[in-house]
Amino acid sequence: MIEYLRFAWTAFKANKIRFFLTTLGVFIGVTTIIIIFTIIQSINEYIADEVAAFGTTTIYIDKFPWVITENYFEYRNRPPITLKEYEALDRNVTYTHWISPIAGYRRNVKYRNERLERVLVTGCNERYPETNNVVADIGRWFTASEVRSARLVCVIGRNIWDELFRKQDAVGKRLKINGYPYRVIGIMEKKGNLFGFNMDNQIIVPYTAMRGYAYTWRGISIAMKVDRPAKLEGLKHEAQGILRRVRKVSPQEEDNFAINQQNMLTDFYNQITGTAYIVIFLIGAVSLVVGGIGMAL
């Protein structure tokens, strides 16, 4: 052991500059790996929190899959998901009764002299709180009766409450969406951002009450939630069969709709980070090998 230390000390005295540069290179390489690894871990936590908002027991029926790696034009040419599909699912699905259409449009909103432009107005039904994990912690949500009768009522996000009503009492007041007067019946709990979109900057209305200014025939999403994960696969198969029948998809044809769920996003993200970890390993290996060679010479 003493001989090794003497050899190292002799090599250091004879090649101080090379020893210093080699050590510096190894240090920079290892430090870079640690920094990149820490950043990826932070992103992992962020993505996990964001994806959790979609729910592990919820599926979404859409025209497009959430992850598209090829054949974009094939997806674009699909017919949209419409209220006809929602109504068929609502009548025939047996695995759950938590089903809601989701139609989103940006519209101008006004209350007295306050005006907001291009606010997201989301149309849904009374089961949206269960399918999408939202709560009206001030006031209430709209009822099935209000959806059936297309009542002009709304539940507003925290930002809307702040900007239009200055956090004063809003329940019972009327605001205008594209000129239509809606009575505020509830204020949603604060949700924060979801993949960069501020969830508190929206207004929720019965989907039946937005037909005067929204074109649901252009396409909607459908959220469906089960009470436990074991039912999820059964719900997917049942929904697939109903949708194929309603959309007249022949047995030889592939589905012309997408059934999306949370794990699609996590699987895609894990593929990306898996590649990143391999790159980090290679960078570290090269740094250490080069450093080892430099010290040995």
What does the domain layout of the chain look like in residue ranges? 16-52+264-296, 79-256
Read off the pLDDT of residues 102-149 as tens digits, 9 standing for 90 and up.
999 999 999 999 999 999 999 999 999 999 989 999 999 999 999 999
The tens digit of pLDDT for each residue in 213-259 reads: 666 557 899 999 999 989 999 999 999 999 999 999 999 999 999 99
Q: pLDDT band for position 199 (50/70/90)?
A: confident
Write the pLDDT tens digit of every residue in 83-106. Answer: 999 999 999 999 998 999 999 999
Share of the chain above pLDDT 90, in %: 52
d(CA 266, CA 274): 12
Q: Buried b / exposed e across 208-226, counting CB within 10 Å, b at 16+?
A: bbbeeebebeeebbbbbbb
* pLDDT of res. 42: 74
Cα–Cα distances in angstroms (integers) from residue 26 to residues 31, 277, 283, in the given order: 8, 19, 11
CA–CA dist 65, 69 (Å, integer): 10
AA letter at 196: G
CA distance 297 to 290: 11
pTM exceeds 0.85, yes or no = no
pLDDT the model gives residue 73 = 85
What is the per-residue pLDDT for 285? Answer: 62
